[in-house]
């Protein structure tokens, strides 16, 4: 298992570093790998188009709890994958979506345009993420979504999209944020050289959509998972984000994983089960979980 974990971490970290640090574009390799591995092990219940742009369909993967929703609205998580706004695929978070759906949550994983797939910037990716949130709410009855218990979630760049979407769409009252080594400070005012190299993807407007700088009164609560040895997204960014949430009276639970690097939360990396259990505990504590009888039936 340790060898498997090391192999996955090295593979994905290598692709991400290649894209962000030296400018190569291994987009199709990462996407194909995610689909082949995660997509085959954790297939969604169905896939729906939530937006059409530039002749392309942006797809939402839907993971139904066992037995469907039977007309009853369910607590729901909307996931955004990582990949440095440059690459990635919605299948990267299928394991997380599937694990929660198996215990009664409705979960969704959204595609969005990346620099590698559409030559776009981070602002375009965020526009897609915000459109995804609006679509989910508009389709709440059909999907079985409880809009009052709608949670956004994401890892790395997807963590940025989830948090920025929740904070910019404050009128939609997102119930909580679940963030995995999220890029929450895109002001690029501090951080290692490797982090500064991402700045061009924001066209010198990173502060405008930086979750750390968007936090205000009424911000939704968050749980943030971050490895202390992350060399891509500094751990300190998550610490300061939680401090900022606390300053405005919002709860933020920072789950530090000593010695872990970027992407440690992924399936096959060794800490997947621990992260998912803490995620479920956070949601239950915020009353964002299925009713006990529903969870038991799902299992």
* 56-71 residue pLDDT tens: 999 999 999 997 666 6
* Greater model confidence, 23 or 266: 266
Give me Rg for the CA atoms of the chain. Answer: 17
* Greater model confidence, 192 or 22: 192
- For residue 154, the cross-strand partners are 80, 179
**At CB < 8 A and 24+ separation, what contacts does 56-59 make?**
56/113, 56/118, 58/110, 58/111, 58/112, 58/113, 58/128, 58/131, 58/132, 59/90, 59/110, 59/111
Least confident of 28-32, 55-59, 250-254: 28-32
Task: Please state the three-class secondary structure of 34-65 as a single string.
Answer: HHHHHHHHCCCCEEEEEEEECCEEEEEEEECC
In the three-class reduction of DSSP (H, G, I as helix; E, B as strand; rest coil), residue 216 is classed as coil
Pairing of strands 106-110, 74-80: parallel
Q: Which residue has the tokens 């299925």?
A: 290
Q: Fill in the DSSP letter of residue 171.
A: G
Distance (Å, rounded) from C-alpha 161 to C-alpha 167? 10
- The CATH number that applies at residue 158 is 3.40.50.1820
**pLDDT, mean over the chain:** 88
* Greater model confidence, 158 or 115: 158
User: Does residue 147 sit within a domain?
Assistant: yes
User: Does residue 167 sit within a domain?
Assistant: yes
pLDDT at 191 over 70: yes
pLDDT at 211 over 50: yes
Model confidence at 291, in pLDDT bands (50, 70, 90)? confident
Q: Sheet holding 106-110: strands in order across? A: 46-53, 56-63, 106-110, 74-80, 145-155, 176-180, 222-227, 252-257
Q: How many domains does the chain have?
A: 1
In the three-class reduction of DSSP (H, G, I as helix; E, B as strand; rest coil), residue 108 is classed as strand
User: Does residue 72 sit within a domain?
Assistant: yes
State the average pLDDT over residues 126-146.
Answer: 97
User: Does residue 227 sit within a domain?
Assistant: yes
Distance (Å, rounded) from C-alpha 74 to C-alpha 164? 24
pLDDT at 121 over 70: yes
pLDDT at 5 over 50: no
pLDDT at residue 30, as a whole number: 55
pLDDT at residue 229, as a whole number: 95
Domain range spanning residue 94? 2-289
Model confidence at 97, in pLDDT bands (50, 70, 90)? very high
User: Does residue 75 sit within a domain?
Assistant: yes
Stated pTM of the model = 0.90
User: Does residue 124 sit within a domain?
Assistant: yes
pLDDT at 6 over 50: no
pLDDT at residue 119, as a whole number: 82
> Could you report the per-residue pLDDT of 219-228, keeping only the tens digit for each?
999 999 999 9
Nearest-10 crossing angle of helices 122-138, 157-168: 60
In the three-class reduction of DSSP (H, G, I as helix; E, B as strand; rest coil), residue 129 is classed as helix
pLDDT at 271 over 70: yes
State the average pLDDT over residues 192-197.
Answer: 80
Model confidence at 37, in pLDDT bands (50, 70, 90)? confident
* Greater model confidence, 95 or 23: 95
**What stretches of the chain show up as alpha helix (H) in DSSP?**
2-21, 27-34, 40-41, 94-101, 115-118, 122-138, 140-143, 157-168, 193-196, 211-214, 235-247, 272-285, 292-298
pLDDT at residue 67, as a whole number: 79
pLDDT at residue 296, as a whole number: 52
pLDDT at residue 129, as a whole number: 98
pLDDT at residue 154, as a whole number: 98
Q: Who contacts 47 (Cβ-Cβ below 8 Å, separation ≥6)?
A: 59, 60, 61, 62
Q: Who contacts 153 (Cβ-Cβ below 8 Å, separation ≥6)?
A: 77, 78, 79, 80, 93, 96, 162, 177, 178, 179, 180
User: Does residue 297 sit within a domain?
Assistant: no
Model confidence at 26, in pLDDT bands (50, 70, 90)? very low
Distance (Å, rounded) from C-alpha 60 to C-alpha 78? 9
pLDDT at residue 12, as a whole number: 52
pLDDT at 231 over 50: yes
Model confidence at 33, in pLDDT bands (50, 70, 90)? low
User: Does residue 243 sit within a domain?
Assistant: yes
């Amino acid at each position: 298992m340790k060898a498997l974990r090391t192999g996955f971490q090295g593979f994905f970290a290598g692709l991400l570093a290649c894209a962000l640090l030296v400018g190569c574009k291994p987009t199709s390799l990462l996407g194909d790998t995610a689909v082949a591995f995660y997509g085959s092990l954790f297939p969604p219940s169905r896939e729906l188009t939530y937006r059409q742009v530039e002749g392309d369909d942006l797809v939402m993967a839907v993971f139904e709890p066992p037995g469907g929703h039977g007309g009853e609205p369910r607590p729901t998580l909307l996931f955004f994958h990582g990949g440095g706004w440059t690459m990635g695929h919605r299948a990267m978070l299928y394991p997380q979506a599937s694990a929660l759906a198996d215990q009664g949550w409705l979960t969704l994983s959204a595609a969005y345009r990346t620099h590698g797939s559409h030559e776009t910037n981070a602002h375009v990716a965020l526009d897609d993420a915000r459109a995804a949130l609006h679509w989910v709410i508009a389709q709440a009855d059909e999907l079985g979504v409880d809009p009052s218990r709608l949670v956004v979630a994401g890892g790395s760049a997807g963590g940025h999209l989830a948090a920025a979407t929740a904070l910019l769409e404050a009128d939609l009252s997102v119930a909580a944020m679940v963030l995995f080594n999220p890029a929450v400070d895109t002001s690029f005012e501090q951080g290692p050289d490797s982090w500064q190299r991402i700045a061009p993807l924001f066209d010198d407007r990173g502060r405008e959509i930086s979750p750390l700088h968007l936090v205000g009164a009424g911000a939704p609560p968050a749980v943030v998972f971050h490895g202390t040895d992350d060399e891509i997204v500094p751990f300190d960014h998550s610490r300061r984000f939680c401090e900022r949430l606390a300053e405005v009276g919002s709860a933020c639970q920072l789950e530090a994983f000593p010695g872990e690097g970027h992407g440690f939360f992924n399936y096959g990396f060794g800490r997947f089960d621990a992260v998912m259990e803490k995620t479920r505990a956070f949601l239950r504590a915020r009353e964002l979980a299925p009713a006990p009888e529903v969870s038991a039936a799902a299992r």
